[in-house]
Amino acid sequence: MSAKGGCAWGAKKSWQTLMIVGAQWGDEGKGKIVDYFAKDVDYVVRYQGGNNAGHTLVVDGEVYKLHLIPSGVLYKNKRIVLGNGMVIDPEVLVSEMDSFTDRGVKLNMLVSDRAHIIFPFHILMDGMIDEYKGKLGAGTTRRGIGPCYADKAERFGIRVVDLLNKEIFREKYNKLFDLKMNTFQRLYRQKVDLNKNEIFNHYWKLGQKLKKYVGDVSVELNEAMDQGKTILFEGAQGTMLDNDHGVYPHTTSSNTIAGGVCTGAGVGPTKIDRVIGVVKAYLSRVGSSPLPSEGNEKEAAHLREKGQEFGTTTGRPRRCGWIDLVQLRHAVRVNGLTSLAITKIDVLGGLKKIPICVNYKLGNKIISNMPASLDIFRKCQPVYKYIPGWQDLTEADFTLIVKKGYNALPINMKKYIKIIEKEIKVPVELISVGPDRKATIKIK
């Protein structure tokens, strides 16, 4: 990704496109950060993943939970876009759309005609595959994401545009449905009760509900950029779940890193001005995989309860631990991060000392970069640097700090931020000290 110029966000005519990606294992608080910047753009675009993602927004005390619709939906006059790199469960999308219209939110939305469709047999297959993998499983959300992406790669997939042409839809659907039934019976030895015609007719009706929102995302976005419109690209999940650059095979099935925007939305890499990585001040992970800086039982329980670390999509308790700078160096490199936004730093308040994982150790060897070998990664132990903590501040305390700005933060909190900047060589430009949109500090 290229970084054009060097002007700060908000400087007139110095930027046009901004990417926001998760720099850890997902659940970093991207939804709030996207919402924060969305006020300054014309478009908010999601380019990968499906309803396995979950973003929670808190605006004026009201909670919104999103799974498919981009986080910019709560601002008026924003064009929200679901890119071709996504896999879409139309049942979930229509339900989410209805929930917003019921709350008086008008949708100015574009859904890519090239995005692929999730069916009930994808969801059933997702669980069977994950159970078969056992220890090598990703801890899937069982929303049908992986099997749908697999069909896309095998060129059996059904796309949004196919739902709008009954003849083409039936031709593709019949072939795909029969293939899946054979797979269930012959490979998994499972008898699955799915009504072929019922699903077809239901999905045809869902397609008709979506019809007015469907179009060519690549064409519209590139024309918008030619007209000087501003665009925010919103990533889902996190860097370590990327299918190429994450901890494979404990990953999702799409490219979650910044480069995924090129294939997932149909824009060239030279069109991206800035890439902000969202980093939780500690670590959390849903699903299985090695996690070197995972806390002990007591530490993890403390972070989980204080940070309310339960999945937006699944409700599952998240594994918790300490910030991992080995992993963040990897995220900086593969995403081309130009800055960081740190979230949930308020959760660390009240701790006497705070560990920072600066390297891994394998025997007598120090490891500073993420290993590709699963065997090596399983054996890695964290090397910690400890810094003194800071007092546990109340919501009222943080409200006052936000008004005063960055310099009003506790001294040790600022030290914590500076260590992260120094170790990974990327500046921090935003600090989130609470779930509400207003609990945000911009570092100038």
Cα 349 from Cα 35, distance rounded (Å):
25
Is 245 labeled as catalytic in the residue annotation? Answer: no
Amino acid at 357: C
The phi-psi region of residue 235 (left if phi > 0; otherwise alpha if psi is between -120 and 50; otherwise beta) is: beta
| CA-wise closest residue to 120 among 93, 141, 98, 143 | 143
Is 198 in contact with 205 (CB distance < 8 Å)?
A: no
Q: Helix or strand or coil: residue 422? A: helix
Amino acid at 154: E
Exposed / middle / buried, residue 162 (Cβ in 10 Å: 0-12, 13-18, 19+): buried
222: tokens are 């590139």
Q: Give me the count of residues in the chain.
A: 444
The phi-psi region of residue 202 (left if phi > 0; otherwise alpha if psi is between -120 and 50; otherwise beta) is: alpha
Cα 422 from Cα 144, distance rounded (Å):
40
Q: Which helix (H) or strand (E) holds 144?
A: none
Tokens 């918790």 correspond to 320
Q: How far is CA 128 from CA 142, 147, 189, 332, in A?
A: 9, 11, 11, 35
**Using alpha carbons only, what angle is made at residue 139 by residues 360 and 334, rounded to the nearest 5 degrees?**
45
184: tokens are 């269930």
Is 27 labeled as catalytic in the residue annotation? Answer: yes
| CA-wise closest residue to 260 among 149, 160, 155, 129 | 149
Cα 207 from Cα 113, distance rounded (Å):
11
Q: Which of 35, 40, 42, 55 is catalytic?
A: 55
Cα 245 from Cα 268, distance rounded (Å):
20
DSSP assignment letter at 187: I
CB atoms within 10 A of CB 349: 18
- Annotated catalytic residues are 27, 55
